[in-house]
């Protein structure tokens, strides 16, 4: 027969031990270190190359993902697919300045847009036929970027395109993405037009800078490029990515006075 008195006090003791163990496992969050900042350093913008249903399916069921997806509806919607504390698989093999594999320290935003896709076929980057982004998409993107920038302290120059961080294999968000509009909102870099006009005149008189100088200037901005002193394939791809971002009226990867002037201004 169980002694009720011992059973009662034994049960109380057991409960006390359990509660004590639980209490000891609770993290004390009363203190916060001053020396800290956000792990997020970059925002990378993409286009999906698919319509909305396929974009959502691929980004939720496939091996690629992004923190946010902006639809092409009217009005555009912002869908969060990955929590910002988690790593999304959007950047792949990538580099900007000394940072590599930017999945670890970036937020990825996918814009529903077919890019240069026509009739299910990929159109070469030099061809026409790019799909424009809607005003509603860009307006929603601007609001989202300002919120992300404020929360993570991201510098304006660290808002980039996929083609900026992976110029050898990516062209998104393409030449129709309105980088200048974003820059006017404090969300990216842009060049000084007066300074560029002066530099263009200078290059017309003195000739274009050397290939090595161009490569050094591209690297100074942040692009991943080898210093070969030759206008090789990798250099043309990087120059094309630069042109798509800052001089999208022509993005053939060929150096001209306007590209050289913009590059010189931005690499100061």
Within 13 Å, how many C-alpha atoms sit on residue 120's CB side? 1
Are residues 74 and 136 in contact, defined by beta-carbon separation less than 8 angstroms? yes
What pLDDT shows up at residue 3? 55
- What is the rounded average pLDDT of the residues 46-62? 96
Structural tokens at position 229? 């002193």
What pLDDT shows up at residue 268? 87
What pLDDT shows up at residue 28? 87
- What DSSP line would sit under the chain, residue for residue? ---HHHHHHHHHHHHHHHHHHHHHHS---S---SS---S--EEEEEE-SS-HHHHHHHHHHSS---SEEE--SSS--EEE-S-TTSPPS-S-S-EETTEESGGGGEEEEEE---TTEETTEEPPTTSS-PPPPPHHHHHHHHHHHHHHHHHHT--GGGEEEHHHH-TTT--TT-TTS-HHHHHHTTSS----HHHHHHHHHHHHHH-PPPHHHHHHHHHHHT------SS--HHHHHHHHHHHHHH-TT--SS---HHHHHHHHHHT-
Is the model's pLDDT at 6 over the cut of 80?
Answer: no
- 54 sits in the region (left: phi over 0; alpha: psi -120 to 50; else beta) called alpha
Q: Whole-angstrom Cα distance, residue 43 to residue 179?
A: 13
Q: Whole-angstrom Cα distance, residue 11 to residue 220?
A: 70
Residue partners of 126: CB distance under 8 A and separation at least 6:
251, 252
pLDDT-based confidence at residue 17 (cuts at 50, 70, 90): very low
pLDDT-based confidence at residue 30 (cuts at 50, 70, 90): confident
What pLDDT shows up at residue 47? 97
What pLDDT shows up at residue 129? 83
Are residues 267 and 157 in contact, defined by beta-carbon separation less than 8 angstroms? no
Is the model's pLDDT at 70 over the cut of 60?
Answer: yes
Lowest mean pLDDT among 16-25, 90-99, 123-132: 16-25
What pLDDT shows up at residue 121? 44
What pLDDT shows up at residue 124? 52
What pLDDT shows up at residue 120? 42
Q: Kindly report the CA angle at 105 between 104 and 107, in degrees rounded to 5?
A: 105
What pLDDT shows up at residue 127? 53
Is the model's pLDDT at 266 over the cut of 70?
Answer: yes
Structural tokens at position 134? 């809607």
Is the model's pLDDT at 249 over the cut of 80?
Answer: yes
pTM for this model (two decimals): 0.86
- What is the rounded average pLDDT of the residues 182-209? 97
Active site residues: 110
């Amino acid at each position: 027969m169980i002694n009720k008195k011992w059973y009662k006090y034994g049960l109380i003791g057991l409960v006390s031990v359990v509660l004590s163990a639980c209490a000891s496992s609770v993290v004390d969050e009363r203190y916060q270190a001053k020396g800290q900042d956000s792990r997020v350093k970059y925002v990378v913008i993409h286009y999906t190359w698919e319509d909305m249903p396929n974009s959502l399916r691929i980004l939720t069921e496939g091996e690629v993902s992004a923190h946010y997806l902006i639809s092409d509806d009217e009005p555009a919607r912002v869908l969060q697919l990955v929590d910002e504390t988690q790593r999304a698989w959007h950047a792949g093999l990538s580099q900007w300045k000394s940072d590599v594999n930017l999945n670890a320290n970036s937020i990825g935003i996918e814009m529903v847009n077919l890019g240069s896709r026509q009739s299910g076929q990929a159109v070469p980057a030099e061809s026409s036929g790019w799909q424009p982004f809607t005003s509603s998409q860009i307006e929603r993107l601007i609001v989202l970027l300002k919120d992300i920038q404020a929360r993570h302290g991201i510098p304006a120059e660290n808002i980039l395109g996929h083609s900026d961080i992976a110029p050898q294999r990516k062209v998104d968000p393409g030449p129709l993405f309105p980088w200048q509009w974003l820059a006017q909102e404090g969300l990216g870099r842009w060049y000084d037009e007066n300074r560029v006009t002066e530099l263009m005149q200078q290059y017309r008189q003195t000739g274009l800078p050397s290939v090595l100088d161009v490569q050094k200037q591209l690297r100074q901005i942040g692009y991943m490029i080898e210093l070969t002193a030759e206008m090789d394939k990798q250099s043309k791809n990087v120059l094309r990515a630069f042109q798509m971002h800052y001089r999208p009226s022509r993005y053939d990867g060929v150096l001209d006075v306007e590209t050289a002037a913009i590059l010189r201004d931005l690499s100061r």
